[in-house]
Amino acid sequence: MWYVVHTMAGLEQKCMQQCQRYVDQADYSEMFIPLYMAKKHFRKEWHDVEQPLFPGYFFIDTKDIQPIQLGLKHLYQYTKVLQNGEIVSPITKEEQNYLEKMMDRQHIVQYSEGFLIGDEVLVTSGPIRNCKGWIKSVDRHRRVAKMEIPIFGRRTPVEIGFGAIVRVSKQEFKEMIADNIAQQEQLGDDQNRVEVVKGVFKDMTGHFLYADTERDEWTVELKLFNNMTKVMFRRDEIKMLL
């Protein structure tokens, strides 16, 4: 079960390390800080930078929070285990499942990419592909998507690394799909050729690259706006063309 410890923003790592000093390792499975991969521009290039997903919080995976609470009393910084009313409780199973779908095994929400089609956000790759209903806005300059995700018993605002490759109108997007469909025969007899059978890319064809079957993520290379672009699909959204 995941419990959440609240501290001061910017001190998450220091507090977690102190907690690890005063708590027996046998009393918990893991302590971690949920992160997201952001893009920062310096030295004339874009660089990957890890940022806290929830500034001021770190998580503890444990079956018994009592020994953790005793250890927290030794910390120099202010800390508090989040609770539901008067009861110290973990986040719900639904909230934990949602975060697990977004984060990789290192508890990092990897960078996502997509397009802006009119006022709509289309995510083509990355962990927020199935979360577009929670996206509130996109800051193309900072390369982040501002979202609200179901955590802490409410819709909690967060930022996620997101790059909008291009902004187009709905008409331009329709024309792009039509061009791709018209050029299908030029792909030849590629044994890794696939057809999209659901969603906004329906009837387009591309080249299958690889799959993460555990997460049901199938990556296909499609020609979008004259560029070969990696797009993630669920298995039921594509058909292999043999």
Amino acid 73: pLDDT: 85
Q: Identify how many contiguous H helices and E strands the chain contains and give both numbers.
A: 4, 19
- Are residues 124 and 115 in contact, defined by beta-carbon separation less than 8 angstroms? yes
- Which phi and psi (to 5°) does residue 144 adopt? -135, 155
pLDDT confidence tier of residue 189, bands split at 50, 70 and 90: low
Per residue in 138-166, pLDDT (tens digit) is: 999 999 999 999 998 889 999 999 998 88
Distance CA 47, CA 206 (A): 29
Question: In the predicted model, is pLDDT for residue 242 greater than 80?
Answer: no
Q: Where are the domains of the chain?
A: 2-166, 170-240
For residue 105, give Cα distances in angstroms to 32, 77, 99, 120, 234: 11, 28, 11, 30, 20
Task: Assign a CATH topology to domain 2-166.
Answer: Alpha-Beta Plaits (3.30.70)
CATH number of 170-240: 2.30.30.30
Domains 2-166 and 170-240 in one fold: no
Q: Mention every residue, 6+ apart, whose C-beta is less than 8 A from residue 52.
A: 9, 12, 33, 34, 35
- Which phi and psi (to 5°) does residue 19 adopt? -60, -40
Amino acid 131: pLDDT: 79
Question: In the predicted model, is pLDDT for residue 187 greater than 80?
Answer: no
Per residue in 40-61, pLDDT (tens digit) is: 988 888 899 999 999 999 999 9
Per residue in 217-237, pLDDT (tens digit) is: 999 999 888 888 999 999 999
Which amino acid belongs to residue 242? L
For residue 159, give Cα distances in angstroms to 28, 111, 128: 28, 11, 11
- Give the global pTM: 0.86
Task: Please state, rounded to an integer, the average pLDDT across all residues of the chain.
Answer: 89
Q: Cα–chain-centroid distance for residue 182?
A: 34
- Are residues 209 and 238 in contact, defined by beta-carbon separation less than 8 angstroms? no
Amino acid 85: pLDDT: 64
Amino acid 88: pLDDT: 82
